[in-house]
């Protein structure tokens, strides 16, 4: 069955450093993958979508890569700030013709000042 894996351990980094979060998927090849941010007590908020024919996508300090050979997406936050502290979820679709997403467990990022 389709499986999404994100680092379950929290990632603690110093302000100003680059945070790198990993999302691995197995048993299928999604046509795209979305990344969301979730703050405590709130619903997830969409950040970026990357398609299988895009190697990299950027939005301000965010960068996402999509390696279909490794079956992995990396999510980078450069020049991290304490306000970036949150849980980040990756979410590929179940199949290309549906809006149904499979959400990873999420990785919690803590940026220390």
Partner 1 sequence: DAGVIQSPRHEVTEMGQEVTLRCKPISGHNSLFWYRQTMMRGLELLIYFNNNVPIDDSGMPEDRFSAKMPNASFSTLKIQPSEPRDSAVYFCASSSQGGGNEQFFGPGTRLTVL
Q: Does 30 bind partner 1 (CB under 8 A)?
A: no
* 91 vs 111 by CB, closer to partner 1: 91
* 62 counts as binding partner 1 under rule CB under 8 A: no
How many chain residues interact with partner 1 (CB under 8 A)? 23
Write down the least CB distance from residue 17 to partner 1, Å.
27
R_g over Cα of the chain: 13
| Nearest Cα residue to 104 out of 72, 60, 64 | 72
- What is the spatial distance between Cα 29 and Cα 50, in angstroms, rounded to a whole number? 13
Q: Which stretch binds partner 1 (CB under 8 A): 13-21, 29-37, 58-66, 69-77?
A: 29-37
Smallest gap from residue 15 Cβ to partner 1 (A): 28
Closest of 9, 76, 84 to residue 39, by C-alpha: 84
């Amino acid at each position: 069955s389709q499986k999404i894996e994100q680092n379950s351990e929290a990632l603690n980094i110093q302000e100003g450093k680059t945070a790198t979060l990993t999302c691995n998927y197995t048993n299928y090849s999604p046509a795209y993958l979305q990344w969301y941010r979730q703050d405590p007590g709130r619903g997830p908020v969409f950040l970026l979508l990357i398609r299988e024919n895009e190697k990299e996508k950027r939005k301000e300090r965010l960068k996402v890569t999509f390696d279909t050979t490794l079956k992995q997406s990396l999510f980078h936050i450069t020049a991290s700030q304490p306000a970036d502290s949150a849980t980040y979820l990756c979410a590929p679709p179940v199949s290309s013709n549906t809006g149904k997403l499979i959400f990873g467990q999420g990785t919690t990022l803590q940026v220390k000042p």
